[in-house]
Amino acid sequence: MVSTASYVALSGILFALGLVGVLTRRTAIMAFLSVELMLNAANIALVAFARAWGDLMGQTAVFIVMTLAAAEVAIGLAIIVSIFRKRETTNVDDLASLKG
């Protein structure tokens, strides 16, 4: 049987990888995928703690986070595709000029 500490360690590693991805990647798609990795790391931690405490509230919270992540994917990808069609790039540094 796998301990809760192992799940939390896995969650921390995945969250750190997602954070590094957000901070280092220059394309919007890769940053977007890194944010999704961070959300999944939080979901793993929630399920691990729910299992350890014998409470279903953590698993309920995971379903809410997954629903919000699905909505984020739909809206975020639509925005990225729209920007790509107009600018022909998804480079985050080039998108900074959209102010105004």
The residues facing 27 across adjacent strands are 91
Q: Whole-angstrom Cα distance, residue 36 to residue 92?
A: 17
**CATH no. for residue 52?**
1.10.287.3510
Question: Tens digit of pLDDT for each residue in 33-77?
Answer: 999 999 999 999 999 999 999 888 888 999 999 999 899 889 988
In the predicted model, is pLDDT for residue 96 greater than 70?
A: no
Host domain of residue 60 = 4-88
- Of 78, 58, 68, whose CA–CA distance to 7 is shortest? 58
Counting residues of the chain whose pLDDT is more than 90, the rounded percentage is 54
pTM: 0.83
Q: Name the domain count of the chain.
A: 1
DSSP 56: S
Residue 93 falls within a domain, yes or no?
no
Residue 28 falls within a domain, yes or no?
yes
